[in-house]
Chain A
Amino acid sequence: MAILSIASAKGGCGKTTTAILLSVELVLNHGYRVALLDGDLNQHASAFGTKAKKAGLKGLDVVPDINDVNVLTALRKCEAENDLVLIDLPGGTSTLALKAIQRSHFVLIPTQASLPDVRDASKTIIQIDDAQELARAPIGRAIVWTRILPGFESRSARKVRMGLEGQGTQILSAALMERAAYREMHITGIVPRQEAATNAAAQNVEAITNEVLAHLEKLSEAA
């Protein structure tokens, strides 16, 4: 079992989309039993979970209304019942996020290639460092670029991306591209893989998930 937080001090950077796509991919392509805890005030992951269940998705339990008071209990319960627990955290620095990070084996930080996103991602990384030191347990972490436009990179995006890559921060080599399919899933409750496993959007998610699993596997081997 593993706990994976999707966190960033920045709002609107793709945390919920990443959390949903990763959760469903882990269920459908890897056969894991997964719980997705929705700690975002907007509860978009929970809305997706309701639709996905109606559409017939099995193996994913989306738990709504996670807050700083119930998060530790919810994590304990879900990790006992599932192979993997993901938690979609709210933007900003919150008690909820700090608690979840301390219980996490790995934190994925979705980040757009913009300076405000990268600044806030750096803040999140420092908080993970602090949590790791206080918890005296290793907490893996990596940035995943999100909402990347296929076939085009602006001057400012390149500057920001290369700047962060030069800092030696752990960054996934696969980036979450900007795709209509990731917006449609909030309407349909169906992720790209359920449409066709070979479509570009599904393969994009598969590549990111495989990298995250490789990180978790390394942590497991080191444990």
Chain B
Amino acid sequence: MATKPELPSIDDELVQSRPRPNLSKLRPRDDLSDSAVEANTRAIGEQWGASTRLTVPEEETPLSSVRLDLPEYVDRQLKLKIAQDGGSKAYYILRALAKDGFEVNEKDLRLDRRKRGQK
């Protein structure tokens, strides 16, 4: 006796999707500026412990390129210092200028400016 073929799937017909809700009145929340969001975040975050990073991302200080000629013996000492302690020529020059009363922001006095966050 021949067996009857299986009936086709009716899965799709059993599922009727509801009409799409109208979400058109929801507008982007950009009436609150990014800086206001940052400030609110810090205000809320201060209440909720250490897992929140509250520091404002630092803006990179614009740099000027300076070419300078140093006596060879000074340059040799600088290279030696850098080899021993790390850092860059710019760091040692900025540190000397700061000691001499020039305004140099602390964030710009990093041993190596290329490594952000290193003091």
Where the two chains meet, the residues of A that have a C-beta atom closer than 8 Å to any C-beta of B are 1-3, 29-32, 68-69, 72, 76, 79-80, 83-84, 92-95, 98-99, 102-105, 123, 127, 130-131, 134-137, 196-198, 210, 213-214, 216-217, 219-221, 223
Contact = CB atoms under 8 A, between A and B. Distances in A.
Contacts of A102: 29, 32, 37, 40-41
A128 to B, nearest CB: 10
Contact of B26 (A72, A92, A219): A219
Contacts, number: 103
A76 B30 contact: yes
Contact of B11 (A99, A127, A198, A213): A198
A214 B23 CA distance: 10
B47 to A, nearest CB: 8
Contacts of A196: 11
Contacts of B43: 130, 134
Interface in B31-88: 31-32, 34, 36-38, 40-41, 43-45, 47-49, 51-54, 57
B78 to A, nearest CB: 35
Nearest to B9: A196
